Amino acid sequence: MKIKAEFAARNVRVMTKTKVTQFCDDGIIVQKEDGTEEKIEADTMINALGFRPAPVSVEMPNACVIGDATGAANILKAVAEGYKAANSI
C-alpha cells in the first residue's frame, strides 16, 4: 500500500507547509501557510522535526529522541527508531 493510502486508511491528517510553534500539555499549536494558528489536541505528541541534534528529553519528560535529532544518519535509522518509539507508546 502506498504511504498516502496508509495515512488515509488510518485517519492520519497530513498538514504540509505547517509549522509547529508550541507544545502544550494537551496538544500543539501550529501555524499554517496562511499565517493562521490552530490548536491540535493530543494525548501523545511525536516530534519528528528539525535537523540539528537537540536535548529534547531535558525539556520534555518521557520524550524519545529519534532520527537525525540524535545526530545525522540515514533514513533507515530514522524509520527504525520511529517504529520502535511508536510501539513503546
Tell me: does residue 73 bind ligand FAD (CB under 6 A): yes
- The rounded Cα 14 to chain-centroid distance in angstroms is 11
Tell me: does residue 20 bind ligand FAD (CB under 6 A): yes
Q: Between residues 63 and 67, which has the closer beta carbon with respect to ligand FAD?
A: 67
Interface residues for ligand FAD in 35-64 (CB under 6 A)? 48-51
Candidates 19, 32, 39, 84: give the one binding ligand FAD (CB under 6 A): 19
Cβ neighbour number for residue 68 with a 10 Å cutoff: 19
β-partners of residue 41 are 27
SS3 67: helix
Rounded to 5 degrees, what are φ and ψ at 26?
-120, 20
Site of interaction with ligand FAD (CB under 6 A): 19-20, 48-51, 67-69, 73-76, 78
